[in-house]
Amino acid sequence: MTNRTASVADAIRTRRTIRHYRPDPIPDATLTALLDLAVEAPTSWNLQDRSIVVVTDPAGRAELARATGGQPQPQEAPVVLVFVAEPQAWREDRADVYERARRSGAWNEEFIAAFDAESTAFQTDLDRRGLVREYAVKDAVIAASFLILAATELGLATSPMNGWNEAEVKQAIGIGDRDDLAIALLVSLGHPAESRPHPGRRAPERNVFRERYGA
Ligand SMILES: Cc1cc2nc3c(=O)[nH]c(=O)nc-3n(C[C@H](O)[C@H](O)[C@H](O)COP(=O)(O)O)c2cc1C
């Protein structure tokens, strides 16, 4: 396991999008620890309606590189993580989620019954408004953000990627026929072969407001 090098605040401030990587692999224990932290991310109604597909095989990464229009990250980084949103997960049996919460003492029977009914009503309404995909993508992207920061803490490099053909990414990870699933984000992970300067951020006055937007 790589040593910790940074606090959360340091990780946020020092992280950069890295597009070129050394070929050195990521040890399994490191990868497992990072994935574990990614799934600690919160999800709407604790639906946990996202999955992560870890692609390390060169052939799989080559397919992902093609799906991204030839971006260097999937070709060079030893690991590419595909964050898959599961917009229909709320319709599935959630007994395992409730059992964990019951065992940890976080939720009692009364809470579980109310939570189940309310979350189903909430999701049914989202579905009616065509928003279940958007909400599952939010959950997947929060998990990706957690992983990116955790990787930065270990001195590893990442790049979020939006530039891809969804059908081709789905094909590459074996879900070409799954209309019920959506690709939220790709994240490359590895050892940096470049360092990039901070491109800067707008002054907070431009997009941080108090009480009312634009104030
Ligand atoms: C959702 C998302 C998608 C992105 N997609 C790509 C991408 O496909 N290819 C790429 O090279 N960079 C991609 N980026 C990286 C941005 O260009 C980068 O974050 C931005 O220029 C700021 O640089 P920084 O991350 O080093 O602060 C993406 C970033 C985000 C947040």
Burial class (CB in 10 A: 0-12, 13-18, 19+), 129: exposed
**Are the beta carbons of 100 and 112 closer than 8 angstroms?**
no
Give backbone dihedrals phi and psi of 144, rounded to 5 degrees, phi first: -65, -40
- Report how far residue 104's alpha carbon sits from residue 77's, in angstroms, rounded to the nearest whole number: 38
162 in contact with ligand 1, CB cutoff 6 A: yes
159 in contact with ligand 1, CB cutoff 6 A: yes
The residue contributing the CA closest to ligand 1 atom 20 is: 17
72 in contact with ligand 1, CB cutoff 6 A: no
Report the CATH number of the 8-22+42-87+136-164+172-196 domain.
Answer: 3.40.109.10
Among candidate residues 80, 79, 75, 73, the one with its CA nearest the CA of residue 17: 73
Which numbered atom of ligand 1 lies nearest the CA of 68? 8
pTM beyond cutoff 0.85: yes
The residue contributing the CA closest to ligand 1 atom 25 is: 17
Model pLDDT for residues 138-148, shown as the tens digit of each residue:
999 999 999 99
Query: What pLDDT sits at residue 215?
Result: 83
Which numbered atom of ligand 1 lies nearest the CA of 185? 1
Query: What pLDDT sits at residue 3?
Result: 52
- Report how far residue 97's alpha carbon sits from residue 142's, in angstroms, rounded to the nearest whole number: 19
The residue contributing the CA closest to ligand 1 atom 23 is: 17
**Are the beta carbons of 136 and 76 closer than 8 angstroms?**
no
The distance from CA 128 to its chain's CA centroid, rounded to whole angstroms, is: 26
Could you tell me which residues come within 8 angstroms of residue 134 by beta carbon, excluding any fewer than 6 positions away? none
Among candidate residues 114, 143, 139, 113, the one with its CA nearest the CA of residue 126: 139
Model pLDDT for residues 150-172, shown as the tens digit of each residue:
999 999 999 999 999 999 999 99
Model pLDDT for residues 99-119, shown as the tens digit of each residue:
999 999 999 999 999 999 999
What separation in angstroms does the CA of 116 have from each of 79, 98, 130, 168, 190? Answer: 36, 9, 21, 35, 40
pLDDT tens per residue across all 215 residues of the chain: 455 556 899 999 999 999 999 999 999 999 999 999 999 999 999 999 999 999 999 999 999 999 999 999 999 999 999 999 999 999 999 999 999 999 999 999 999 999 999 999 999 999 999 999 999 999 999 999 999 999 999 999 999 999 999 999 999 999 999 999 999 999 999 999 999 999 999 999 999 999 999 98
- Report how far residue 2's alpha carbon sits from residue 154's, in angstroms, rounded to the nearest whole number: 6
